[in-house]
């Protein structure tokens, strides 16, 4: 079964550290037009890849941007429009990312009634100074309200996203964020290390020396603290940056880590498709332009909105290993070989090399990154491919 990703390219205001594609300050007409064009994109996708109309999707994910900047009514109408076009399973996980500054209890109740059953709240921090430094539009009261209102609206699957390794943030403050987040009893918690991007205001402030990143040892200590605090609170550390109560892992994100089919809709959306006709056994990667106007122009002209690249065995294996090894359970090469064919010899040599130096563990036919190196997963993965 596939998942479906929808990129909502609107935010109230750009945060100082963000390099995700979104437009700040768009008006109602642009948002209405986007909703109509997204339906047109779904129609084009179904006509180009008819197999997507034959098996039910079991995850739908509205990310962004700030999906809730669209307003509950448009989001519900967008979901209904996708349900009319794609077969969707009865137990589909339907996630909406939300910024605590953009939700109300009535809006959340409308989303819940409209079929959304999982909400991922971009909390990032419980410290006003840190929220300010990040350029978030919400404060701590909005966070508390959003979590309470999501529960009141009937969301039984709530995720909280946090960021660590922020300039000025101390280990003690980070520990407070983790403890406080856990007291709200979310089903899912993500803890992302801040990656400063050079073109963002934060990146420029770092380059100019007006802000300083915490040193590597401090960031590693924060990662370790997240692992200790959240596992002690009953969460399973199931992916480098993700923790969940048992059974509440993100089904949608697992599809990326396991390289399963996820068509992407909307500006900047990436997708992976597996047409069953054998023309692309390793999948077709799609990549929509990170530009609302360009995306709209392509859809209105009836053309595919994004680049489509047929993946080959080596790239498919590299992507599958990179994504799969972020899961703490690691990967089963036999399972991957079943879907991707024989593992390329270069990858076998790279795996053997990493096993020999203890950077990968071989256990019960699976490979995984040792717990002690989990924080350095990206470096291990870079060596692998």
CA–CA gap between residue 342 and residue 332 (Å, rounded):
13
Binding mask 99-118 for ligand SF4 (x = CB under 6 A): x-------------------
Residue partners of 195: CB distance under 8 A and separation at least 6: none
Minimal distance, residue 202 CB to ligand SF4, in Å: 11
β-bridge partners, 8: 64
Torsion region of 62: left, alpha or beta (phi above 0 gives left; psi -120 to 50 gives alpha): beta
Burial class (CB in 10 A: 0-12, 13-18, 19+), 20: middle
64 interacts with ligand SF4 by CB under 6 A: yes
Using the contact rule CB under 6 A, the part of the chain among 18-26, 168-176, 178-186, 363-371 near ligand SF4 is: 18-26
Contact 243, 191 (CB under 8 A): yes
Task: Please write down the long-range contacts of 294-302, taking CB distance under 8 Å and 24 or more positions apart.
Answer: 294/267, 295/37, 295/266, 295/267, 296/33, 296/34, 296/37, 299/37, 299/40, 299/41, 299/44, 300/37, 300/40, 302/44
Q: Which of 4, 18, 103, 244 is the binder for ligand SF4 (CB under 6 A)?
A: 18
Closer to ligand SF4 by CB, 63 or 271: give it: 63
For residues 115 and 169, is the Cβ–Cβ distance under 8 A?
no
Q: Which residue is nearest to ligand SF4 (CB)?
A: 18
Cβ contacts of 355 within 8 Å, gap of 6 or more: 361, 362, 367
Taking the complex as a whole, the smallest distance from the CB of residue 195 to ligand SF4 amounts, in Å, to: 12
Least Cβ distance, residue 41 to ligand SF4 (angstroms): 20
Q: How far is the CB of 197 from ligand SF4 (least distance, A)?
A: 11
Which residues lie across from 190 on neighbouring strands? 161, 242
Which position among 14, 33, 258, 366 is part of the footprint of ligand SF4 (CB under 6 A)?
14
Q: Which of residues 136-165 bind ligand SF4 (CB under 6 A)?
A: none
Closest separation in Å from C-beta 126 to ligand SF4: 17
Q: Which is nearer to ligand SF4, 122 or 305 (CB)?
A: 122
Given the structure tokens 């599809």, which residue do they identify?
A: 255
Smallest distance from ligand SF4 to CB 366, Å: 34
Select the residue interacting with ligand SF4 from 6, 15, 153, 369 (CB under 6 A): 15
Eight-state DSSP code of residue 116: -
Question: Quick check: 120 binds ligand SF4 (CB under 6 A)?
Answer: no
Q: What is the total count of residues that contact ligand SF4 (CB under 6 A)?
A: 11
Q: Does 65 bind ligand SF4 (CB under 6 A)?
A: yes
Contacting range for ligand SF4; rule: CB under 6 A; set: 8-16, 28-36, 244-252, 348-356: 8-16
Query: Of 120 and 242, which CB lies nearer to ligand SF4 in the complex structure?
Result: 120
Q: How far is the CB of 39 from ligand SF4 (least distance, A)?
A: 23
Q: Which two tokens stand for residue 323?
A: 């994504």
Burial class (CB in 10 A: 0-12, 13-18, 19+), 115: middle
Give me the residues that bind ligand SF4 (CB under 6 A), please. Answer: 11, 14-15, 18, 20, 22, 64-66, 99, 122
């Amino acid at each position: 079964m596939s998942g479906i990703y929808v990129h909502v390219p609107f935010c109230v205001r750009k945060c100082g550290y963000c390099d995700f594609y979104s437009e700040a300050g768009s008006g109602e007409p642009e948002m209405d037009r986007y909703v109509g064009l997204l339906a047109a994109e779904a129609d084009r996708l179904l006509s180009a890849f008819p197999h997507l109309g034959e098996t039910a999707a079991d995850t739908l994910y509205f990310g962004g941007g700030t999906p809730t900047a669209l307003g509950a009514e448009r989001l519900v109408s967008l979901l209904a429009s996708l349900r009319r076009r794609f077969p969707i399973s009865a137990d589909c996980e339907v996630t909406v990312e939300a910024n605590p500054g953009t939700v109300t209890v009535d809006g959340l109740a409308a989303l819940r009634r409209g079929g959304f059953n999982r909400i991922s709240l971009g909390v990032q921090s419980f410290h006003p100074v840190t929220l300010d430094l990040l350029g978030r539009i919400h404060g701590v009261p909005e966070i508390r309200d959003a979590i309470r209102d999501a529960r009141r609206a009937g969301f039984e699957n709530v995720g909280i996203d946090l960021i660590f390794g922020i300039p000025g943030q101390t280990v003690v403050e980070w520990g407070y964020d983790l403890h406080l987040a856990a007291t709200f009893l979310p089903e899912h918690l993500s803890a992302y290390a801040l990656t400063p991007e050079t073109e963002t205001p934060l990146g420029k402030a770092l380059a100019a020396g007006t802000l300083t990143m915490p040193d590597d040892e401090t960031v590693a200590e924060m990662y370790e603290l997240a692992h200790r605090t959240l596992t002690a609170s009953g969460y399973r550390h199931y992916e480098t940056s993700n923790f969940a109560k048992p059974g509440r892992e993100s089904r949608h994100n697992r599809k990326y880590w396991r390289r399963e089919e996820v068509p992407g809709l909307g500006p900047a959306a990436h997708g992976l498709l597996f047409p069953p006709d054998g023309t692309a056994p390793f999948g077709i990667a799609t990549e929509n332009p990170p530009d609302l106007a360009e995306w709209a122009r392509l859809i209105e002209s009836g053309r595919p909105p994004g680049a489509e690249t047929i993946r080959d065995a080596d790239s498919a294996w590299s992507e599958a290993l990179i994504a799969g090894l972020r899961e703490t359970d690691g990967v089963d090469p036999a399972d991957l070989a079943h879907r991707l064919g024989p593992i390329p010899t270069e990858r076998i040599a790279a795996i053997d090399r990493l096993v020999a130096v203890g950077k990968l563990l071989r256990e019960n036919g699976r490979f995984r990154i040792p717990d002690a190196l989990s924080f350095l997963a990206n470096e291990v993965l870079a060596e692998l491919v």
